[in-house]
Chains A and B, each alone.
Chain A
């Protein structure tokens, strides 16, 4: 679905007005209304679904398996599947790679340790059912709420099994909550002099450039990237765009984190 030249020019002009006018009437710092539901997949240890008002939707499942961590080093696997994109398309592979690297850095692997030999291995599967705009922000929100609502089986056997050959045994029904914080990723569209959080598809098309900024544990962290939200109108941006984006994220990200945290 494309926009005509006239539509694009109208959108661009209204976004560069002072004050800017976004097509859905939001302020530059405002998110689209989003709906989060969690814990709907009994087969998974944690699950969440995020729906944005435009119909974009993302489902995340967290599954776990007990592995011998002396043999298997990787305790976190993130896998992204976006409808309408092949598994080897640049969007899907680069997003998968970015997310798994980020999650490996941020999630404390010690929390997954069960005994001296065995650990939980987390499989985080992302399914994007529908999305027109750059979906990474929505995905990170879904992962955040899924990990907040992940329950792992409770270990009842001894946690020191270095000497004894013993497989970990678990309580029949008691579960322990995995207290893991996941980073939140924010996308910004740069249009003219303005910076807009959570751009819609239409805003992405006319944007001059895009920014991806990560928020984790009350501070801005890596990765920070410039991302092209389209292929036609890419231009350079200036330092004040970056500063503006940082200001917005520092001001509003804590609220968003709180809202997501309270949603369960």
Chain B
């Protein structure tokens, strides 16, 4: 590790970015039109994520029926081959995965108009084919796109990104090398507002630095929102063109 400088005095990070730059961001929606009601594929840096949404549909069991609103469930599948080194366990029942699932459900329960779909269930599956840091933020973006593709009513985009704190400098959108080297937080915001819908702090962050960390994080999520919006509009345009022909 000594050969790498996490953040050089010239202000460059391991992959050549500056402190406030995002990794390359590519997304597409409706990638699995026959397999699911809504789907998206997202690449955020070296993260590759497939998200499938099934629903609103009849719940598989009676216990999931809620007469007031739809039941939302999120399943995270971090594949065994996703990391550089193959992991032996499937991460399905790990506490960290279960916690992420619960916080994603809570985030999207607030943002979706679930009361429009009573007595139904909406099931979201996230498959991570490749992992490279900031996965929770990437999953927020992937789920947002897939839910939009499924046509489920929501108030606004939810976009997420991770921010780290290196000494006193906040660094935007960490990759796995950086994530292992410093403490980081994941931020999810609603649309272009400064309202946070998710704040995941798994490490210690000094309170007096939190404001600058959040500021760059919110700016990053807004940029991601714009990128997703651009892709959606492009997709919508081609869909309209194809249907009119």
Contact = CB atoms under 8 A, between A and B. Distances in A.
Q: Touch between A and B in complex, CB under 8 Å?
A: yes
Interface of A: 41-44, 53-57, 59, 61, 63, 65, 79, 81, 83, 87, 123, 125, 127, 129-130
Given A42-B130, A43-B130, A63-B86, A55 B81 contact: no
Nearest to A132: B35
A125 B92 CA distance: 15
B32 A123 contact: no
Q: Classify chain B's interface size.
A: 20 to 34
A79 B89 CA distance: 11
A79 B80 contact: yes
A44 B80 CA distance: 11
Contacts of B207: none
A54 B92 CA distance: 27
A59 B129 contact: yes
A83 B125 contact: yes
A122 to B, nearest CB: 10
A228 B213 CA distance: 58
B18 interface: no
Interface of B: 32-36, 46, 48, 50, 52, 77, 79-84, 86, 90, 92, 125, 127, 129-130
Interface centre among B32, B81, B86 (most CB of A within 10 A): B81
A57 B86 contact: no
Nearest to B84: A43
Contacts of B125: 83
Given A41-B130, A42-B46, A63 B81 contact: yes
A129 B127 contact: yes
Contacts of B127: 127, 129
Contacts of B84: 43
Query: For the complex, would chain A's binding face be called helix, strand, loop or mixed by DSSP majority?
Result: strand
Given A63-B86, A123-B86, A129-B52, A43 B34 contact: no
Contacts of B83: 43
Contact of B86 (A65, A81, A127, A129): A65
User: Closest 3 A-B residue pairs measured CB to CB?
Assistant: A55-B34, A130-B35, A55-B35
B32 A61 contact: no
Contacts of B77: 81, 83, 127
A205 to B, nearest CB: 18
A43 B82 contact: yes
Contacts of B90: 81, 87
Contacts of B80: 79, 81, 123, 125
A42 B129 CA distance: 10
A13 B40 CA distance: 39
A123 B130 contact: no
Given A41-B130, A44-B81, A81-B79, A55 B32 contact: yes
A133 to B, nearest CB: 13
Nearest to B83: A43
Contact of A129 (B35, B46, B92, B130): B35
B81 A43 contact: yes
Contacts of B48: 41
B81 A57 contact: no
B175 to A, nearest CB: 13
Given A42-B130, A129-B50, A130-B52, A54 B34 contact: yes
A43 B81 CA distance: 8
